[in-house]
Structure 1
Amino acid sequence: MTARFLPASRDAGERAAMLVLPGGGYDHHAPHEAEAIGEWLNGLGVHALVLRYPVAPHRHPEPVAAARRALVDLRAGEFGAVDAARVGVVGFSAGGHLAAMLSNAPTAAERAVHALDDRPDLAVLGYPVISMTDLPHEGSAVALLGPGASRSVRAAVDADRLVDAGTPPTFLWHTAEDGAVPPTHSLAYARALALHEVPVDLHLYAEGEHGRGLAVGLGPLAGWSALAAEWLAGHGW
């Protein structure tokens, strides 16, 4: 596990900060969803901590335990001057699943290895893996839980099942054409958030393949980052 802190500027002082969780199917870390996202956040005046969390052969709950520890340390100012009341998370694909897990109460497996229950104040999820049982991304499920995991074991990390009133406001974006992680994942998470009266912004684009990151030059899809920036600003970031 490695982490790289990207300050908004040398003399930025205490500002909002985001934990950045790149995708990669819990098998690797997609480089275009790592520092590039941190630099985009820096442009918004937000500090960023890019976390390369444990991936296969490490299993659940190791990735989320590492992410919770990083969140706690980020909020405590261990990496740099941070406004402790404005600490969020942004994740893509499998990193989006991890961000969603981080946004919700720890599972029984997590509680067995640590007592941390800190959650981010906001979450931004790009084409996230949400369910390990409904149209799952098999690569992520196997890498996270191992081959042959039972349905009950998979269901325990269905992020939409974990949403409660304490889940933070969330910005979601996905594409209807996503052939790797169907848009039903974001739709299910948005539904769960709405049912618990958690503020949610959902943006579903008609075109675009999976894993586009900042989507620079990809037509309407490239607009997601401006919408996210506006959403963050609306929350005082």
Structure 2
Amino acid sequence: MNNYNFIRKLGCMLVLFSAVQCCCGQGIIKELPLYDGAIPGAKATTVKEQKGFDPEVDSLVYHVSVPTLEVFRPAYLPPGAPAVIICPGGGYHTLLINREGRSVAEAFNRKGIAAFVLKYRLPDDAYLTNKAMAPLMDAQQAILKVKQHAAKWGIDPHAIGIMGFSAGGHVAAMAGTHFDSVYVPHSGGISPRPDFMILINPVISFSDGTGHGGSRSNLLGAGITEDKIRFFSGEQQVTERTPPAFLAHAADDKVVPLANSMDLFAALKKNRVAAELHVYAFGDHGFLKNLPAFEQWFGSCIYWMQTSGWLKQAR
């Protein structure tokens, strides 16, 4: 074989190898029904799920009545790999399914972490018997489902966390503070308690001074009582058994006040729960202008997972 042909063949082999490597590094994506049988709390409806697009926030999903779990698993996971269940935000009226879901799941995959995007039900009396409880029910079911299939998916059943953005942060915080009561059909033996929480500009409180009024109104509707406000305010539900948490928030957030993260952080520290809070001077709500850059806050999150022992092998 002359040198020219050899170089050509070698080049083709390298291109093919690179393509295979790229493919293997991508997440294995599969969308699964969240519930194996009937969806608890659902009622017959003619309301259909809708998709939308906003140039600032990417793809949106509305009127979610059938919850799903999207599996993002890299071709290779190191032994004892953790997993993160991601709850996109959207004020309980939509889901930012790509920007605060799938894109983040792919970033976790690149770090050797399995990820799951939870398309939780959006509160609507048209298709839910108790719209206020449906997102928490779906979060609990997602945790139970990932734990039940941990061996099959090659992840550590004791290193399964939940992550949420904005109203999705409220869903995640509810899962982290109300795990003692199981609100979905459950055979027992597995706890719906997440092992850790990652909360990004989260809605935490439903109090008048701190809470996000839109999220509270969409979830609870009319007839809001003090008992409901207390139940759905995460900072009032923290105990010593609440999972460790990583929080990130912008000080100039005009939608969800910084006090949501600060009050939860204070409650966690009061109860001797390990927590880390990053406050950025600028970024407004959702870090929409990439300020801080994704690599900045996400890198801090990965470092927290490593130093906390959830991520045993750095990438």
Scaled by the length of structure 1, the TM-score of the pair is 0.90
Q: Which residue of 2 aligns with 1:157?
A: 232
CA distance change for structure 1 residues 54 and 220 in 2, over 3 Å: closer, same or farther? closer
Q: CA deviation at 1:148?
A: 3.5
1:72 to 2:144 alignment: yes
User: For residues 65-90 of structure 1, what are the alpha-carbon distances to aligned partners after superposition, in whole Å with 9 as ceiling and x for unaligned?
Assistant: 11101101101216722210110011
The AA in structure 2 aligned to 1:4 is: E
Offset at residue 11 of structure 1 (A): 3.5
1:173/1:202 contact within 8 Å kept: yes
User: In the TM superposition, what is the alpha-carbon distance from 1:220 to its structure 2 partner?
Assistant: 6.2
User: Contact 1:16 / 1:86 at 8 angstroms: preserved in 2?
Assistant: yes
Which segment drifts farther, 218-227 or 34-43? 218-227
Q: CA deviation at 1:169?
A: 0.9
**Per-residue deviation at 1:40?**
1.2
Higher relative contact order (CA 8 A, sep 6+): 1
CA deviation map 1:148-182 (0-9, x unaligned): 41233222110011110111110001011101000
Alignment of 1:162-201 (within 5 A): 162-201=237-276
Aligned to 1:24: 90
Q: Which runs of 5+ in 2 are unaligned?
A: 1-66
3-state SS in 2 of match to 1:51: strand
Cα contact 1:207–1:221 (8 A) shared by 2: no
Distance in 2 (CA, whole Å) between partners of 1:91 and 1:47 is 16
Tell me what 2:71 maps to.
Answer: 5
Question: Equivalent residue of 1:187, what SS?
Answer: helix
User: Among 306, 309, 314, which residue is 1:233 paired with?
Assistant: 306
The structure with the largest alpha-carbon Rg is 2
- Secondary structure of the residue aligned to 1:227 is helix
Question: Residue 222 of structure 1: CA displacement?
Answer: 5.0
What residue in structure 2 maps to residue 49 of structure 1?
Answer: 116
Contact kept? 2:182, 2:192, Cα under 8 Å: no
Give the Å deviation of 1:100: 0.6
- State the distance in 1 between where 2:240 and 2:292 align: 36
- Displacement, 1:219? 4.5
Moved more, 98-107 or 53-62: 98-107
Which whole-Å CA distance do the structure 2 matches of 1:176 and 1:124 have between them? 18
Q: What's the C-alpha RMSD, in Å, of the aligned pairs? A: 2.1
Alpha carbons of 1:220 and 1:41: their partners in 2 closer, same or farther (altered >3 Å)? Answer: closer
Give the secondary-structure state (helix, strand or coil) at the position aligned to 2:123.
Answer: coil
Give the aligned residue type for 1:139: G
Equivalent pair of 1:205/1:221 in contact (CA under 8 Å): no
- Name the amino acid aligned to 1:164: T
SS state at 1:119 partner: coil
Q: Deviations over 1:25-54 (max 9, x none)?
A: 111111310101101111111000100101
Q: Is the 8 A contact 2:250 2:282 kept in 1?
A: yes
Letter paired with 1:99: A
Higher alpha-carbon deviation: 221-230 or 85-94: 221-230
> Could you state the TM-score of these two structures normalised by the residue count of structure 2?
0.69
CA contact (8 A) 1:20 1:91 kept: yes
Other-structure match for 1:60: 132
Say how many residue pairs are matched.
232
Letter of the structure 1 residue corresponding to residue 116 of structure 2: L
- Residue 221 (structure 1) shift: 7.1
Match of 1:92 among 160, 165, 174: 165
- Give the equivalent residue in structure 2 for 1:38: 105
Q: Provide the rounded CA distance (Å) in 1 between the counterparts of 2:205 and 2:155.
A: 32
Identity percentage over the alignment? 31
CA distance in 2, matches of 1:219, 1:3: 29
The verdict on how the C-alpha distance between 1:178 and 1:88 changes in structure 2, with shifts beyond 3 A counting, is: same
The answer to whether the 8 Å contact 2:203/2:212 transfers is yes
> Separation in 1 of the partners of 2:159 and 2:183?
28
User: Could you report, residue by residue, the CA deviation over 1:107-141 in whole angstroms, capped at 9, with x for unpaired residues?
Assistant: 8xx65665675211111100000100132211100
